[in-house]
Amino acid sequence: MTNTPWNMLRFRSDLLRELAARGWNVVAASTFDAAQEAEIRALGAVPARIPMNAAARNPVPDLRSLLALRSLYASFRPDVVHHFSSKPVIYGSIAAKLAGVPRILSSITGLGIAFDGQRRVLHRLVTRLYRVALRGRVIAVFENEDHYERFVETRFIDRSRGIVLAGSVGIDVAAIRRIVDGIEAERGLFVMVARMLWSKGVGDFVEAARRLKRARPDAHCVLIGGTREDYASANPDFVPREWLEARAAEGLVTWAGRQGPGDVERWMARASAIVLPSFYAEGMPRTLMEAAAAGRAIVTTDTPGCRETVVDSVTGLLCPPRAPETLARALQSLLDDPERAAAMGEAGLKLAWERFDQHAIFRTLFDLYEGRAMASERPA
């Protein structure tokens, strides 16, 4: 279960395909339309349409989601359910317990705006819901150690009921290598791949580009990702399209918009480094794992989730969040020393094979699905 079809198709499709290939009867639940349901069937899974608004704070639609999930689980009587993102984790876990599902996994893919320290009422509500949802037999899957420890310390979960897995499902390193093979890095090309959210650091990237181009006019900074309209989202954190177009018109950045599978990886392969100046409560950014698999240096923030994708000064550079001047200096250092950037990319590829490859992560998930592994074993 995911909160959006985009999340399911972009991040979980390989898992669905692998489960179906292994003979599992797989049901994928989200807010699908007819075309998306066809894509799910092509992966070997059965689509189930569940009402859910990821951004809504009205309890009435959330109650409808809870009841719909309980009905779904009572109808299919699954052996195991796996939820991704906050609302599916909260309402899906409660529904699964009410329906008597034997094994429940819930992936905390990031903490989101409820944990940004600025929304106290929302934070109190969400923390209470997490305590109810994760109590009992639920196994909580985290993408970084910081979030795992935070949930243990706040007593959302017992330590033995948590596990840390890169990106919850990892990435297909070999598939990325096939796409990027033979593409040479372009000196001075810095690419940021993300949804165009302020909290992903879009504003900081643009300001860093402004500062960098003053010193090095040959630098080229590119934003890749969509806005609110591209994701049919009501999230107020999205950067307005007009703002992005204005910054591009100034010549500060190129905004390439939302790109499809394959095109994103080819952009990464062309870059000297991949940049993500996020101060969002990330789980583990998939784009940074993909950047490592593409063999490119990473420049990101020293924040939970982001820092786990980098060995500082070996596979990339860590910067403080909300510090565009420091970010600009980091980018210039790689522009001035392309051999160093290339060496970081090679080291990052090795890290991707060791830590991010989905095949090892799938094995752990399948053990959990089948009850062969307990979360207390906690593989890295």
| 5-170+358-377 CATH pick, 3.50.50.60, 3.40.50.1820, 3.40.50.2000, 2.40.420.20 | 3.40.50.2000
Q: What is the pLDDT of residues 288-307, one digit of tens each?
A: 999 999 999 999 999 999 99
pLDDT at res. 118? 66
Reported confidence tier of residue 378, pLDDT bands at 50, 70, 90:
very low
Q: Name the phi and psi angles at 163, rounded to 5.
A: -145, 150
The residues that bridge with 255 in the sheet, in sequence order, are 223
What is the 8-class DSSP label of residue 282?
A: B
Q: Is the pLDDT of residue 107 over 70?
A: yes
Same CATH fold, 173-355 and 5-170+358-377?
yes
**Residues contacting residue 128 through CB under 8 Å, at least 6 positions apart:** none
Tokens of 70: 């309980």
Least Cα distance to 283 among 316, 300, 319, 307 occurs for 307
The H or E element that residue 319 is part of is strand 316-319
Q: Name the phi and psi angles at 260, rounded to 5.
A: -85, 170
Could you tell me which CATH class the domain 173-355 is placed in?
alpha beta
φ/ψ region of 290 (left if φ > 0, alpha if ψ in -120 to 50, else beta) reads: alpha
Q: What is the pLDDT of residues 307-355, one digit of tens each?
A: 999 999 999 999 999 999 999 999 999 999 999 999 999 999 999 999 9
Determine how many CB atoms are found less than 10 A away from the CB of residue 236: 10
Tokens of 243: 């703002």
pLDDT at res. 138? 97
Domain limits, the chain:
5-170+358-377, 173-355
